[in-house]
Amino acid sequence: MPTTPLLPLPDGLEIIAVSMTEKELQVRVTSHRVSSICPQCPKPSRSIHSYYRRKPLELPCAGQTVRLELSVKKCFCREKTCPQKIFPERLPEFVEPSSRLTSRLRTIVQAMAGAFHAKGGARLGAQLGIRLSRMTYLRSLLRFSLSPVDQVKHGGVDDFAWKRGKSYGTVRVDLDTHDSIDLLPDREATTVSTGWKSMRKSKW
């Protein structure tokens, strides 16, 4: 099956099959790209070591959860001075290395977490077919490209639960826009104080 407007894919990727389970729509996709860039050198390689499957979640389709079965290569790096002998094929515009979400789903999850915070994002996501935990929404905030701190005029802090009743962190917010600016790993006075000092140095 060629690619479809319902699920546009980057060049070199092709939909092989679509099947339905009780839980989700599964879409098998394979990569036909002839070379991949070594993450260390970085030189292109056409030398195939093996194939493997990744199963990232994709944006939902008509309220149905969509999971890809993505067949990609492992390649040899033939550059003699390179320490990386074997590396997985990279699809940087589509899914980050080791990510369980495609990049376009990650972007949506980040936007939902930023707008509704983890709990609201997870609740809305479940209705849309994005079945992810609150922790995934929370962690997605850590991947944000944060706004330049020197553009924030009025800052504040709030806390959030990594694990309710056990582990809490601190979120720094822009009080004018209500955007999350940074996350701190705990809510200890020293950590928050250090955060404030770094903010002041940054004209916050």
CB within 8 A of 119, min separation 6: which ones? 134
Cβ atoms of 35 and 44 closer than 8 Å:
yes
CB nearer to Zn ion: pick between 90 and 117: 90
**Could you give the maximum distance between any two Cα atoms of the chain, in Å?**
57
Q: Which of 41, 61, 146, 173 binds Zn ion (CB under 5 A)?
A: 41
Rule CB under 5 A: is residue 49 a binding residue for Zn ion? Answer: no
| Exposed / middle / buried, residue 122 (Cβ in 10 Å: 0-12, 13-18, 19+) | buried
CB nearer to Zn ion: pick between 5 and 83: 83
Q: Which of 72, 75, 77, 112 binds Zn ion (CB under 5 A)?
A: 77
- Nearest Cα to Cα of residue 79 among 45, 55, 31, 121: 45
Rule CB under 5 A: is residue 75 a binding residue for Zn ion? Answer: no
Rule CB under 5 A: is residue 84 a binding residue for Zn ion? Answer: yes
With contacts defined by CB under 5 A, how many residues of the chain interact with Zn ion?
7
Q: Give me the residue label for tokens 């980057």.
A: 10
Measure Cα distances from 75 to 32, 48, 89 in Å. 13, 4, 7
Rule CB under 5 A: is residue 109 a binding residue for Zn ion? Answer: no
What is the number of other CB atoms lying within 10 angstroms of the CB of residue 106? 19
Residues 1-40 that bind Zn ion (CB under 5 A): 38, 40
**Min CB(15)–Zn ion separation in Å:** 30
Please choose, out of 49-57, 76-84, 155-163, 173-181, the segment that lies near Zn ion by the rule CB under 5 A. Answer: 76-84
Rule CB under 5 A: is residue 149 a binding residue for Zn ion? Answer: no
**Min CB(94)–Zn ion separation in Å:** 21
**Min CB(32)–Zn ion separation in Å:** 22
Q: Give me the residue label for tokens 């292109």.
A: 44
Name the amino acid, one letter, at 199: M
CA 187/CA 182 separation, integer angstroms = 13
| Exposed / middle / buried, residue 70 (Cβ in 10 Å: 0-12, 13-18, 19+) | buried
CB nearer to Zn ion: pick between 36 and 110: 36
Q: Which of 7, 59, 82, 142 binds Zn ion (CB under 5 A)?
A: 82
Q: Which of 79, 96, 179, 186 binds Zn ion (CB under 5 A)?
A: 79
- List residues near Zn ion by CB under 5 A: 38, 40-41, 77, 79, 82, 84
